[in-house]
Amino acid sequence: MHSQGGTKTLVKIAYRNIWRNKRRTAFCFAAVGIAVFFIAVYSGYIGGMISGIRDLVQVFDLGHVRVVSELYEAENEYMPVQYPVADGKDWRELAESIKKVSGVRAVFPRIATMATLQESTVKHAVLWGLNIEDEMAANTFNLTNRDDGLIEGRYPAPGANECAIGHVFAEKAGLKIGDRIPLKTVSAQFSDRMWSPVITGIFNYDYIRFDEKYIIVDFERLQRLLVMGEGTQQLIIFANEDRLSAGITAEVQNILGDGSVVTEWRDNYWVAVMESVAPLYTAMFLIFLIVASFLIINTVVMIIHERIKEIGMMGCLGMTRREIVTVFFFESLFLAAFGALTGVLIGGAVTFLGAHYPIRFGDLYGDTFSEMPMNNAIFTEFSLIKLFQAWLMGVVIASLFTLIPSLKSAFVEPVEALRR
């Protein structure tokens, strides 16, 4: 037998054998396929969630790297403006020195501070001071629609007493374009500052925390209102690539020295949490596969039991134990490979659709997780590499778990098998 075709012949025999009982083969395909389907879909979903949190953290919070003072960092939950970066040094000078660092794409000043609204059903909000034109040119603020998020009107003009608010904020407070928002905030000199900016725009970032709590104003106008001189509360640094953020963090820390806290986006709590739990999802995927593999194990055991006389004939015709084991192992391998391929194809189609048409979880959970940086719409991550990994995982795990029943066929004595 070996001399007449070797392994190639054994593979042909194994391939033909899996189609001898099509119903049994279909069940095996379904078992492994369903397990691999869930691996492909869940890995795409988890990958998309991690990617979405990363994008929100980078755009709305830390950039790739954020610089604040040590005193600000100690009290950051109160958003104080009394502790500017580098003791109030002109932010433009700081930005120019940071832009010289290799890999830095842009540096922006930001101010975020609490405000109390005087004549509104919404009593508290966050004033968010940006260099709006520069920020909008560098970032996509609505990650769902890939645009600037503006749904009505325009963003505030430089230096003007104007603002833009989220659509949720506007609905709750009954505000529209042209209305004023009387508010009070606290300056860098610990004095109360009254202000009534005119609403010029309404945005929808598809991010509940910003849509219902933030008032966007021009950076320089807010800087003057808070009596911050030429200083800034935060410097947000964007890199050319995510992987460069660690090196930029170290270099910026050296430039600014003690008294400044330089934070990389990976240090964000939610990013760290999602990356730390990723291995748990891998363990869950393995459990899915192991359970599915038991159906193939049972199938191979049944095949050996049903074909005991055939095994005896194979032995009498000169096939060695090694060749008999090889035939049954290849049968198991084909069942696993085709089943996993079915699961990957269907799972890949689902993740591909999810990458273009997001799952709108925000419509389900509302503001329950408003403190978590999670977009209302979550895109799945479509990755050919991850789909191949899911297929390979299915084939390897299912095949390994069928080695023992495959070996069982080698210990069937030909004469004893023919008597049954």
- What is the rounded CA–CA span in Å between residue 260 and residue 252? 10
pLDDT at 174: 93
The first and second tokens of residue 34, run together, are: 């369903």
Cα-flanking dihedrals φ and ψ of residue 220, to 5°? -65, -35
| pLDDT tens readout for residues 160-172 | 999 999 999 999 9
pLDDT at 2: 44
pLDDT at 357: 87
pLDDT at 142: 93
Pairing state between β 124-130 and 214-218? parallel
Question: Residue ranges of the alpha helices (H) in 80-161?
Answer: 91-99, 132-138
Is residue 271 within 8 A of residue 53, CB to CB? The reply is: yes
pLDDT at 3: 45
| pLDDT tens readout for residues 180-209 | 999 999 999 999 999 999 999 999 999 988
pLDDT at 277: 76
Percentage of the chain lying above the pLDDT 90 cut: 51
- In angstroms, how far is CA 414 from the centroid of its own chain? 56
| Cβ density class 374-412: b for 16+ within 10 Å, e for less | bbbbbbbbbbeebbebbbebbbebbbebbeebbebbbeb
Cα dihedral: 301, 303, 309, 313 (round 10):
-110
The first and second tokens of residue 377, run together, are: 């719409």
pLDDT at 36: 85
DSSP string for 149-163: -EEEE-PPPTTSSEE
DSSP string for 314-369: HHHTT--HHHHHHHHHHHHHHHHHHHHHHHHHHHHHHHHHHHHS-B-THHHHTTTT
Residue 157 pLDDT > 90: yes
| pLDDT tens readout for residues 367-388 | 544 566 778 888 899 999 989 9
pLDDT at 326: 83
Residue 115 pLDDT > 60: yes
pLDDT at 365: 53
pLDDT band for position 1 (cuts 50, 70, 90): very low
- What is the rounded CA–CA span in Å between residue 245 and residue 264? 6
Q: Map tokens 């389900």 to a residue.
A: 364
- What is the rounded CA–CA span in Å between residue 396 and residue 332? 11
Of 55-69, 247-261, 293-307, give the lowest mean pLDDT range: 293-307
Percentage of the chain lying above the pLDDT 70 cut: 87
| pLDDT tens readout for residues 299-356 | 666 766 666 666 677 777 777 778 877 887 888 888 888 988 999 999 999 999 999 8
- What is the rounded CA–CA span in Å between residue 85 and residue 419? 89
pLDDT at 244: 95
Average pLDDT, the chain: 86
pLDDT at 410: 62
- What is the rounded CA–CA span in Å between residue 382 and residue 279? 19
User: If you average pLDDT over residues 16-31, what whole number do you get?
Assistant: 81
CB proximity list for 353: less than 8 A, separation 6 or greater: none
Residue 286 pLDDT > 70: yes
pLDDT at 64: 96
| Sign of CA pseudo-dihedral 331, 332, 334, 335 | positive
pTM for the predicted model, two decimal places: 0.79
Is residue 195 within 8 A of residue 185, CB to CB? The reply is: yes
Helix 384-400 to helix 22-56 angle (10° resolution) is 140
Q: Which helix (H) or strand (E) holds 237?
A: strand 234-239
CB proximity list for 248: less than 8 A, separation 6 or greater: 64, 65, 101, 103, 104, 237, 239
- What is the rounded CA–CA span in Å between residue 260 and residue 231? 14
User: If you average pLDDT over residues 222-247, what whole number do you get?
Assistant: 96
pLDDT at 295: 67
Q: Where are the domains of the chain?
A: 2-55+271-419, 81-232
The first and second tokens of residue 84, run together, are: 């500017």
Q: How far is CA 88 from CA 128, 239, 259, in A?
A: 18, 24, 12
Residue 213 pLDDT > 50: yes
Strand partners, 378: 359
Of 18-22, 46-50, 133-137, 225-229, give the lowest mean pLDDT range: 18-22
